A and B are shown apart, each in its own frame.
Chain A
Amino acid sequence: IAGITQAPTSQILAAGRRMTLRCTQDMRHNAMYWYRQDLGLGLRLIHYSNTAGTTGKGEVPDGYSVSRANTDDFPLTLASAVPSQTSVYFCASSDSSGRATDTQYFGPGTRLTVL
């Protein structure tokens, strides 16, 4: 693995189903993030984690949950998917949280369609 990987690449999901998007990084970055990107809107932060064992809510957390059991993995779960969660989801990581020189590196994204 080099950098950040996400799985699946794309998924079509029936409304009401549970879904977990996976994210793994091998850069030993402390901080990880989940964003959604919708046409005409900027990237919107769903949840973040400054370090393993801690998580926080971003701008649009409703309907999503995350966990950070270790440094490398940061899964995003949709407990009961709804059509408004149709989007492209990006996972990102950065070397440190709270530093002004922080730069986020992104995974390739997961395209999710909820019908």
Chain B
Amino acid sequence: GQNIDQPTEMTATEGAIVQINCTYQTSGFNGLFWYQQHAGEAPTFLSYNVLDGLEEKGRFSSFLSRSKGYSYLLLKELQMKDSASYLCAVLDSNYQLIWGAGTKLIIKP
């Protein structure tokens, strides 16, 4: 079967750095997405990786290792508004998105 694993919940301090991991086992791979979802709101797109390596976008970076079936989202200079759930999703061989359950990130002052 297809599986996406992420930690259920993480806590970090304002101003610090946090890394959210995602491991996947899917039938084929056509890219990995990270989305942010604030409580009670819709998911919004953060990043897309299809090649190995690090993609940087402001305070957020996303890393992919296809051989290890592994990705992480790195958030720097954490702000209170970064408190949200972070969803990892993989585009499989049928170009369907397979979603992880999400990681709830709690930021403390």
Q: How far is the CB of B104 from chain A (nearest CB, A)?
A: 11
B interface size (C-beta, 8 A):
23
A interface majority secondary structure: loop
Q: CB-defined interface of A79-115 with B at 8 Å, one 1/0 digit per residue? A: 0000000000010000001111111111111000000
Contact A104 B42 (CB under 8 A): no
For residue A44, CB closer than 8 A to chain B, the reply is yes
Contact A105 B45 (CB under 8 A): yes
Contact B95 A42 (CB under 8 A): no
* Residues in B neighbouring A102, C-beta threshold 8 A: 91, 95
> Contacts A100-B30, A103-B33: A43 and B99 contacting too (C-beta < 8 A)?
yes
- Bound together, the chains give a CA A41 to CA B42 distance in angstroms of 15
Which residues of A from 54 to 91 have beta carbons under 8 Å from B?
A: 58, 90
Residues on A lying within 8 angstroms of B by beta carbon are 40-45, 48, 58, 90, 97-109
Some 19 contacts from A to B, beta carbons below 8 A apart, are: A41-B101, A42-B4, A42-B101, A42-B102, A43-B43, A43-B89, A45-B97, A48-B96, A90-B42, A100-B30, A100-B31, A100-B91, A100-B95, A101-B31, A101-B48, A101-B50, A102-B91, A107-B42, A109-B42
